[in-house]
Amino acid sequence: MSPYEIKKEICEIGRRIYNDGFVAANDGNISVKVNDNEFYCTPTGVSKGFMTPDMIIRIDGTGKKLEGKLNPSSEIKMHLRVYRERPDVKAVVHAHPPVATAFTVAGVELDQYILPEAVLTIGAVPTCDYGTPSTEEIPDSLIPYIQNHDAFMLKNHGALTVGNTLTKAFFTMEEVEFNAKICMYAKQLNNGAIDEIPCEQLEKLMELRKKFNMPGRHPGCKKCPNLGTDKCRCKDNAAGSSACASNNDLVAAITKKVLAELSK
């Protein structure tokens, strides 16, 4: 894509997140990686719904402005941290999707497996510790999760999504908010109770993800509803599934030791 086409796409995604109600006023920020030391990003103090290509800023890997009349977003630090930690990421979107953000304000994790599409694309979405905007606190809060996730909830501060394209990063943001809405409605309809997808079906979805060679990172079956029982079969499906396997190994080791003691 030419520089103008990249800028135009950033403006289009900005318009979409604004029209979708994912941001208000001048909230949110977007960036695209051109090469290891060159990025395009949205300006500070401008509504994402009313940007034009001439407003987009070009910066280097330190955040220094290389091109543009306006100044880059003050939260570009978290974008640059993502690009340093994840060379596969080509675009980052930060927004404040209302329902998903409400989960972080209420202290409720967005980690229940309720929609096959959400399981395939994002899995459980971690909530990062609260950090002061425009500081290194938010980039630091991403570090425990950055290698195994493409979507992150920012405590009291919205969501951050990444992708191998800007469209993919935006679609992931949409998936986060849609999943949060369905989860909220289901809780309201059933007094807080939710029917999650069974463990064996989660395993099938992880196999489909492999078969489709879906891009990005995924936590896998991190919170198996059958954790620690003989029904849990989530063996090494993804990075996050090791907890299931290790728990089963521990149960097997304890059982073996108890049987050995009883046979004496």
Q: How confident is the model at residue 82 (pLDDT cuts 50, 70, 90)?
A: very high
CB distance 99 to 182 below 8 Å: no
75 is catalytic: yes
For residue 223, what pLDDT is reported? 56
CA dist., res. 14 & res. 174, Å (int):
13
Reported CATH class of domain 3-189: alpha beta
Cβ neighbour number for residue 256 with a 10 Å cutoff? 10
> What are the tens digits of pLDDT across the range 17-34?
999 999 999 999 999 999
Could you tell me which of 96, 93, 14, 31 has the C-alpha nearest to residue 68?
31
CATH 3.40.225.10 in the chain: give the residue spans: 3-189
CB distance 45 to 70 below 8 Å: yes
For residue 199, what pLDDT is reported? 84
For residue 5, what pLDDT is reported? 98
Which residues on adjacent β-strands are paired with residue 94?
Answer: 29, 160
> What are the tens digits of pLDDT across the range 177-196?
999 999 999 999 999 899 99
Q: How confident is the model at residue 240 (pLDDT cuts 50, 70, 90)?
A: very low
* Residue 9 confidence (pLDDT) above 90: yes
- Alpha-carbon distance values, 188 to 97, 98, 100, 191 (Å): 19, 17, 15, 6
For residue 75, give the H/E element and its range: none
Q: Which of 75, 175, 177, 203 is catalytic?
A: 75
- The structure's pTM equals 0.85
CB distance 55 to 46 below 8 Å: yes
Buried b (16+ CB within 10 A) or exposed e, 71-94: ebbebbbbbbbbbeebeebbbbbb
- Alpha-carbon distance values, 179 to 52, 79, 120, 175 (Å): 31, 24, 12, 6
For 255, the 3-state DSSP assignment is helix
For residue 203, what pLDDT is reported? 86
For residue 255, what pLDDT is reported? 42
CB distance 56 to 73 below 8 Å: no
Q: How confident is the model at residue 225 (pLDDT cuts 50, 70, 90)?
A: low
Q: Give the HSE-up count for residue 103: Cα atoms under 13 Å, Cβ half-sphere.
A: 29
- Alpha-carbon distance values, 249 to 164, 172, 200, 230, 256 (Å): 36, 34, 18, 11, 11
> What are the tens digits of pLDDT across the range 242-255?
334 334 444 445 44
Q: Which residue has the higher pLDDT, 264 or 110?
A: 110
CA dist., res. 255 & res. 234, Å (int):
20
> What are the tens digits of pLDDT across the range 114-155?
999 999 999 999 999 999 988 999 999 999 999 999 999 999
